[in-house]
Structure 1
Amino acid sequence: MTQKENKQAMINFRQRLDEIASAKEYLEWGFPNGKRADYLTHTIPTYLGDIQIGIPESWERRIPHLMRFLKEEGPPSPDVELNIPIEHNRKVSGLYASAGHEVWLCSRGAFTAFRGQIKKEVTFSFFDKWLHEIDDNGRDVKVIPVCSLSSPTIADDIAIFMKSVQELKELYKTGQIGKTRKAKTNTRKSQWGSSPEYEGTKSTGNKGGTEYEYLHGPLCNQLFTNLKSSVANHKGIIVTKNAHLDVALVEKSSNKAVVIFEVKTAALPSNQIYMAVGQLFYYRSLYGKSDSELFLVMPSNCKSDATEKFIRGLGINILYADSGLFYDEIGNEYVPSV
């Protein structure tokens, strides 16, 4: 984006915050280095709880976007900080990016924990389902979309990103990710888990119908969390994924996927739907059983009679996501039948 486009994106983002905020006031933010500063802060309701976003009105070389979940104690301190450079700079953690007719707020994957920086390959492995490849001033780069500035669910989108960053930092802090491990070979479980080789998705804009590409990662995270809660007491089933499968319920005894979920962010006539059909049947042949259930998962604003008729005719189920919950075509909340 040009410097002028970047400036306009910041203005548009502030306008969206004005639209969705329940309160707006100057608050003193505190930082780990002991410094404090007053920033205009928006308090915004989301399904994960209220969040606060503080953005200074002016800055020299970059504009910090400070984000936190609302807490009662102490001065606000950021859970997540995205710095947006005034002029193009790939070394700064955040950016606004053009994606077709949309503008996205994105992260380059630079986060700190323990006062040290988490390696980008660790971050990208954790956010593998979020990654998109964009044209960054003539270079193709992978980024993590936080939200589209035109998203009807922008508040929840930001909150999901913040929650995911918190999870990343906690896993890193406790040593569950980021450590070098010997490669496992020829094991029954080696097909499951995150894959650092994921290459992301190139953002090329609208390909027919309304697409919400930036929602893919957040929806995968919401689905994963929802299913883990649903099957928490089922000792024979685990919730997992791999480089191909968005989410799956796997039977421990057979190490086979008994339910396979493919997340898409557009309805017909988008070619995403045709891709989903092929992917679901192919993944069932690779990872599942002949009777494994197949689910296409989409945002609720992608509900489409034409898509439902087409998908139903192939024996595939549909779920719609709305504020962290998932519903079938007639509005019943989904509960796994395993």
Structure 2
Amino acid sequence: MREIVITKAEIKKGITQFRAAISKNLKKKQRIWTFPSGKNESIPTLRIERKEGVLCVGLPSGWNNRVPHLFCIEREGRALSPDVEINIPLDLDRRTGGALVKHRKDIWLCHRGNFNSFRGKIPKQKTLNHFEKWTVPTMDGEKESYVIPVGAVSSPSIIEEMFLFVEAVIELKEQAKLKTSIKQNEAETSKWSNWEEFEGKKSKGGRTSDGYAYEYLHGPLCNSLNKWLKRWNKEKNNNFATKQNSHVDGAIIKNGKAVAIFEVKTSTSFSSQIYSAIGQLIYYKHRHGTDSCSLFLVLPASCNFGPDQIKMFSNLGIVIIVKKRSFETLDGKSLQNVLNEMLIINEATEIPAPNVSA
């Protein structure tokens, strides 16, 4: 039977073995990590390159009575901030996420499944359902509980298993964020307004809370887009409004309904953020838009999509816009020209979607 390691000496030994296993042939370098509380900290970090991407692992010496391990899949233009933290307590502590588990002669790095995301904790049962094929029963002190194995310390594929775990947690958090947004959207009316998004470092929970660094970059890109839309609308003297609501990042409004909706993401690769954006745009059109509402996905200039992915967006009727000096399509057509073609006004309440190849 598997059992959670609870003696301090065995825990310290297991941590040393794990860190030695993942550090083989690599040098730790001091890197600045940003936490949701807004604090920055210089932490010894491994940078592990694989075909799956680059995984950064922060290895602080210890915080209070636990030893943290910070995991971040590197993304261009994104601050180094934990996608996942596995904090291993130095004694039996079921409130702390990480745990070492003995199984035969092996020590396994595991997680109890208590994750934070977006605006609070993800219910543990939802986490266990998400990791249903991963979870295993263990003796947890005097009782049995389920944990999520990341990998055996002695496994030659421990790095690849860490990648899989971090990607699965990112997906879980994205799902939780999207479900929260949809639930709130159902509970409220469409209240269009104007405001500026937060820019800078958000404070969300304590120093060891999990968080998304891209949310810090989200505000400036949203603000830049909405300032551009307002300037464009004013210069054209259009009979429209450019507004937002609590979920839609930007919209062009006619008679209280959106004729164009903009969703801003800061991912530079085809990730779970982008999958979420597709669902959000389709739902927001249903909830807030006209039947012919045009859909735009706004990304950083460094986004890297292949021809098949670009074609898929075009087939879905979603125009990809990137932020360079100004906003433009991937093939260099200015957003101004796209909107001018789309909004051949004629005082119509509904406007056909643009025939633009993203």
Mapped to 1, the partners of 2:78 and 2:11 lie a distance apart of 33
Q: Alpha carbons of 1:177 and 1:110: their partners in 2 closer, same or farther (altered >3 Å)?
A: farther
- Amino acid across the alignment from 2:140: D
Q: Residues 177 and 150 of structure 1: is their aligned pair in 2 closer, same or farther, counting only changes over 3 Å?
A: farther
Equivalences for residues 108-187 of structure 1 within 5 A: 108-175=112-179
Alignment partner of 1:84 is 2:103: no
Residue 343 of structure 2 corresponds to which residue in structure 1? none
**2:34 corresponds to:** 30
Which 4+ residue blocks in structure 1 deviate beyond 6 angstroms?
176-179
Q: In the aligned structure 1, how far is the partner of 2:135 from the partner of 2:181?
A: 18
Would the aligned equivalents of 1:171 and 1:177 in 2 still touch at CA under 8 Å? Answer: no
Identical-residue share of aligned pairs (%): 36
Alignment of 1:205-284 (within 5 A): none
Partner in structure 2 of residue 12 of structure 1: 17
Deviation of 1:73 after TM superposition, in Å, equals 2.6
After superposition, give the CA deviation of every residue in 1:259-296 in whole Å (9 maximum; x if it has no partner).
Answer: xxxxxxxxxxxxxxxxxxxxxxxxxxxxxxxxxxxxxx
2:248 aligns with none
Tell me, yes or no, if structure 1 residue 53 matches structure 2 residue 54: no
- Residue 173 of structure 1, CA deviation: 1.1
Query: Is the CA contact 1:52–1:70 (under 8 Å) kept in the aligned structure 2?
Result: yes
Cα distance in 2 for residues equivalent to 1:178 and 1:6: 42
> Aligned partners of 1:173, 1:81: CA distance in 2, in Å?
18
State the shift of 1:150 in Å: 0.6
Q: Which of these residues, 30, 48, 70, is aligned with residue 74 of structure 2? A: 70
Question: Which of 1 and 2 has greater Rg?
Answer: 2
**Alignment partners' CA distance in 1, 2:168 and 2:181:** 14
Do the aligned partners of 1:3 and 1:88 also contact (CA within 8 Å) in 2? no
CA-CA distance at 1:176 after TM superposition: 8.5
Q: In structure 1, how many angstroms separate the alpha carbons of the residues matched to 2:150 and 2:58?
A: 16
**Alignment partners' CA distance in 2, 1:99 and 1:4:** 17
Contact 1:45 1:155 in 2 (8 A): no
The residue identity in structure 2 corresponding to 1:13 is F
In the alignment, what sits opposite 2:220? none
Measured in 1, the distance between the counterparts of 2:109 and 2:181 equals: 26
Return closer, same or farther for 1:64/1:127 CA change in 2, 3 Å cut-off.
same
State the Cα distance separating 1:75 from its structure 2 match: 3.6
Question: Which of 37, 40, 61 is equivalent to 2:44?
Answer: 40
Counterpart CA distance in 2 for 1:59 and 1:150 is 26
Aligned residues: 178
Residues 12-31 of structure 1 show CA distances to partners (whole Å, capped at 9, x for unaligned) of 1110121153x420111101
Change (3 A) 1:119 1:73: same
Change (3 A) 1:115 1:123: same
Q: Read off the aligned partner of 1:24 and give its amino acid letter.
A: K
Opposite residue 9 of structure 2, the aligned amino acid is K
Q: Shift of residue 72 of structure 1?
A: 3.5
SS in 1 for 2:45: strand
What amino acid maps onto 2:21 in structure 1? R
Distance across 2 between alignment mates of 1:176 and 1:167? 14
Supply the distance in 1 between the matched residues of 2:93 and 2:180 (Cα, whole angstroms): 32
* CA distance in 2 between partners of 1:174 and 1:83 (Å): 26
> TM-score, normalising length from structure 1?
0.50
For the Cα contact (< 8 Å) 1:106–1:143, is it kept in 2?
yes
Mapped contact 1:133–1:142 kept (Cα < 8 A): yes
CA positional deviation for 1:154: 0.7
Aligned to 1:310: none
Following the alignment from structure 1 to structure 2, what is the Cα–Cα distance between the partners of residues 177 and 158? 29
C-alpha displacement of 1:142? 0.3
**Contact preservation (8 Å) 1:80, 1:165:** yes
- Aligned-residue Cα RMSD (Å) equals 1.9
The structure showing larger relative contact order (alpha-carbon pairs under 8 Å, at least 6 residues apart) is 2
Structure with the largest fraction of helix:
2
Deviation at 1:37, TM superposition (A): 1.1
| Distance (Å, rounded) in 1 between the aligned partners of 2:149 and 2:119 | 24
Deviations 1:80-108 (A, max 9, x none): 11111122101111111111111111010
Q: Which residue of 2 aligns with 1:199?
A: none
Gaps of 5+ in 2: 184-358
Which amino acid is the alignment partner of residue 83 of structure 2? Answer: D
> In 1, Cα distance between the equivalents of 2:18 and 2:132?
25
SS at match of 2:87: strand
- 8 Å contact 2:34–2:40 — kept in the other structure? yes
Contact 2:61 2:68 in 1 (8 A): no
The alignment partner of 2:11 has SS state of helix
